Amino acid sequence: MTRFVLKRTGGALLVLLALSVIVYSLFYLAPGDPARLACGERCNPQQIAQVREQLGLNESTVAQYLHFLQGLVAGRDHSAGAGLVLHCDAPCLGLSYQTDQQVTDLILTRLPATLSLALGALAIWLLVGVGTGVLSALRRGGITERLLTVLTLAGTGTPVFILGLLLLMAVCAYLQWLPFPTYVPLTEDPEQWAWNLLLPWLTLGLFESAKYARITRSSTLETLAEDHIRTFRAYGVGERALVTRHAVRGAVAPVIALSAVDFGTMIGGAVLTESLFGIPGLGKTLIDAVRVVDLPVVVGVVLAIGTAVVVAGAVADLLYAAADRRVALA
């Protein structure tokens, strides 16, 4: 088991390094002059040259990347012109072109909103999604199952932003049960935090639930068709116990593993939901940065998201192996 953990962790680190090279080169070597972008619309050539000097864009690309890595590991200094030097602590992802704010700080301030959203959604899909899946496996062949299947199918067919828009229209505009959500940090007012996140949670949670209901149902049914279920049926175990005690176990490992991956992706930013509800999380940060071509922020957020996803992938593998011991042994 220890070997498996070490191997998987090493692999994840390697992937992250490769990702940083790719992302860095893609964005900084792309057509368009970073110096011009950093300086803004009304810069004259002289100013641009100055900015280029400050950003170290005259160095070779390899040197630039190494500096970038150095910043990540040990921090680095940025000259902000006019003899001003800004220190950027490790892990340094650079400074925003727009605000000169450290990208790492920016990401850290945006993280709580994203985490709030992701945690609530996780709870909903584990409850609603997995619950629906188990229920429809229990009631297979009945009207309940057919109804749930139709609902699940409709859920799979609905893009998350349509679901969100419809919920907004129905709950806020017509029924007026809730005001239009605005993000309130948990530390400020827990009650308002929850009320304002209710719709985003429902949107993201229900959207993901459709997928989890499908997976739970199909894994359970697949296990139900396996030979060992026949054994227990032949020993007088009732149908309900067959499903809840034996068949559902087949769904545990995939659901846990997939949840880890999805949660990781969401920490990386549920871009659509955040953008629709105006939640100031990582995803919204990315979209805003893309609109004004703030490259350090874009690169930083993409790397942060990549990290979240890779870590989540590794965690998913470990959880899967723990849930299904045959994997680690194989």
Contacts (CB under 8 A) with other proteins, residues 57-96: none
Interaction between residue 168 and other proteins (CB under 8 A): yes
Interaction of residue 18 with other proteins, rule CB under 8 A: yes
Q: Candidates 17, 84, 86, 165: give the one binding other proteins (CB under 8 A).
A: 165
Q: Which region among 44-52, 105-113, 151-159, 191-199 touches other proteins (by CB under 8 A)? A: 151-159
* 318-to-5, 14, 49, 94 alpha-carbon distances in Å: 7, 17, 50, 33
From 41, 188, 191, 227, residue interacting with other proteins (rule: CB under 8 A): 227
Separation between Cα atoms, residue 92 and residue 299, nearest integer Å: 12
**Do 77 and 51 contact (CB within 8 A), yes or no?**
no
Beta-carbon contacts of 141 under 8 Å, excluding residues fewer than 6 positions away, are: none
Q: Is 208 in the site for other proteins (CB under 8 A)?
A: no
The first and second tokens of residue 257, run together, are 């593993």
232 binds other proteins (CB under 8 A): yes
Least separation in angstroms between residue 162's CB and other proteins is 5
User: CB of residue 123 vs other proteins: minimum separation in angstroms?
Assistant: 21
Q: What is the dihedral of CA 100, 105, 107, 112, to 10 degrees?
A: -140
Size of the site for other proteins (CB under 8 A): 80
Choosing from 5, 8, 11, 244, the residue that interacts with other proteins (CB under 8 A) is: 11
- CA–CA separation, 254 vs 208, rounded Å? 14
Question: Left, alpha or beta for 312 (phi > 0: left; psi -120 to 50: alpha)?
Answer: alpha
User: What are the phi and psi torsion angles at 42 (to 5°)?
Assistant: -100, 20
Of residues 127 and 165, the one with the C-beta less far from other proteins: 165
Stretch that binds other proteins, among 47-55, 76-84, 98-106, 153-161 (CB under 8 A): 153-161
Measured at the CA of 181, the angle between CA 200 and CA 288, to 5 degrees, comes to: 75
Which of 21, 90, 169, 322: binder of other proteins (CB under 8 A)?
169
Q: Is 21 in the site for other proteins (CB under 8 A)?
A: no
In the complex, what is the shortest distance from the CB of residue 239 to other proteins, in angstroms, rounded to a whole number?
6
